[in-house]
A and B are shown apart, each in its own frame.
Chain A
Amino acid sequence: MKALVAVKRVVDYNVKVRVKTDGSDVDIGNVKMSMNPFDEIAVEEAVRLKEAGKITEIVVVSLGVKQCEETLRTALAMGADRAVHVETDEKLEPLAVAKLLKAIADSEKPDLLLLGKQAIDDDANQTAQMLAALMNAPQGTFASKVVIGEGEVLLTREIDGGLETLALTLPAVISTDLRLNEPRYVKLPNIMQAKKKPLEKKTAAELGVDITPRLRQIKVAEPKTRTAGVKVESVAELVSKLKNEAKVI
């Protein structure tokens, strides 16, 4: 069984981004970039399924600028077998990404497609669902447990009131939630090894996908800042403020 895992290069989750003074975008020049945390979980899950003998090959895919190669090397160091990089400087929207991944899936024919539930930059939470739609495959979003059975996958997902379990026919698209697993740290020998693993380059044109953005970002603004509060000295003072000043209790 083959797995395809999609990974995105994003601003590191610890970085607090600032909006550019001209309001055109956020300023991500010279900030630390990393693999999207949910995608790390997706790679980790694929590697664990391989270690458990459920999966034979892991193909990892990233779409975007040249530096996405580093993200792919990280995934290879975690245990993926080979990588595909669709290089473009265009800002890709989830729909375009889903179409590109569909084109790659058409040639790779994976049984399992693993993605993060959302990227922490655009916070869209769309790509996995869109890919499943384009493939007419079932979707298992926000997965916290994945069990591979005969011709289907049992998937536990995080929903608003708790958890639910679904059985999905294969091939299936899965998006990972935080509690699916704890991704491993890559060790130096694995990083060295990863450099020798195959990394194939493709373009959107080769895949026959139109990646023209459908949404224009016309402005980016800072969030409304909250007015600075006060520190109270005691519980009594807090209660009095909540009752008499804020009038919320």
Chain B
Amino acid sequence: MTILIIAEHDNNKLNPATLHAVTAAEKLGEVHVLVAGSHAQSVAEEAKHINGVAKILLADAEHYANGLAEEIAPLVVSIAKDYSHIAATATAFGKNLMPRIAASLDCPQVSDLTEVVDAHTFVRPIYAGNAFATVQSDDNQLVLTIRATAFDAAAATGGNAVVESIAAAPVQNLSRFVSRELTQSDRPELTQAKIIVSGGRALGSAEEFNRILMPLADKLNAAIGASRAAVDAGYAPNDYQVGQTGKVVAPELYFAIGISGAIQHLAGMQDSKVIVAINKDPDAPIFNVADYGLVADLFTAVPELTAALG
């Protein structure tokens, strides 16, 4: 069996999220990686060293520059017959692209899988992670998106895959890229961070969100996350949201500060190794999942914590 993984990248560097998909795919058979991009040779060069990858397919064309699903899906469909599984990491990129490929091939998709049982059987969360379903398929081709936090990253070095250039598919011209506005941050990326400091509605304002959480995050070299309530209230940008409909994270250490712990939020962080909750409400549901809970006013406790870490 051969598995095709669609690499996520910015034409320059490979997104490390892709490495987690390689680990999941290795359980199924030989792994090939498709790099579709524009002037993306450096990505192919990087991908060929991933441990466990046998072959890199490089499709280099102007219309792959922005990762548009309308353009990449026909390319994948054109080479799909050689593959039993077509997979990507369940990021915004993978979630957008993969169902388009699945429907074009008339094959089912297993979304956000957390466990590979065998080539036809997978485990995935449903109902905001309140249950885990084992699903099975008789189809001889499957599309998968893989939850990165459920699998270790494959080593970025040690591999020596062959790089093969493949022809681009015709331009579709259904959609056009206009602009991209990325949140500027020097912090570690949320889904890759070892420590996350996350804030909720109790912070009260964007100023307080930054004033209280930044020093703690700086001290721990942590990424900053937020609950949906904090994002909706405008305290933090959208892409900070941790939860069922935001990002799913599993860091070594997760600080939930002023977050009550709604099931939708827990769905995004309950696989963290150690969870610390700071909340003044002793009955907040977050304390049911926290390894260490501190019932205190965050406005005094967090600065005190930051100082104590000095």
Contact = CB atoms under 8 A, between A and B. Distances in A.
A48 B309 CA distance: 50
B291 A123 contact: no
A235 B308 contact: yes
Given A26-B126, A130-B103, A235-B304, A141 B132 contact: no
B273 to A, nearest CB: 7
Contacts, number: 245
Interface of A: 11, 13, 16-19, 26, 38, 93-95, 98, 117-118, 120-134, 136-142, 144, 154, 158-169, 177-179, 214-223, 226, 228-232, 234-236, 238-239, 241-242, 246, 248-249
Interface of B: 66, 68-70, 73, 91-93, 95-104, 106-112, 121, 125-139, 173-183, 191, 195, 220, 228, 231-232, 237-239, 244-245, 247, 252-253, 263-264, 270, 273-276, 282, 287-296, 301, 304-305, 308-309
A165 B178 contact: yes
Contact of B96 (A94, A136, A142, A228): A142
Contacts of B132: 220-223
Contacts of A98: 103
Contacts of B173: 169
A176 B228 CA distance: 16
A160 B70 contact: no
A141 B220 CA distance: 35
B127 A11 contact: yes
B interface secondary structure, majority: mixed
28 contacts: A11-B127, A13-B264, A38-B245, A123-B126, A125-B99, A127-B99, A129-B69, A136-B174, A138-B175, A159-B93, A162-B182, A162-B183, A163-B181, A163-B238, A164-B178, A166-B178, A215-B136, A216-B137, A219-B134, A220-B133, A229-B290, A231-B282, A232-B292, A234-B294, A235-B296, A235-B304, A242-B276, A246-B274
Nearest to B97: A129
Given A16-B263, A248-B273, A160 B239 contact: yes
A238 B276 contact: yes
A128 B103 CA distance: 10
A137 B73 contact: no
Contacts of A128: 99
B108 A215 contact: yes
A93 B134 contact: no
Contact of A166 (B68, B128, B228, B244): B68
A248 B131 CA distance: 29
A138 B220 contact: no
A230 B127 contact: no
Contacts of B237: 162
A218 B135 contact: yes
B131 to A, nearest CB: 5
B174 A138 contact: yes
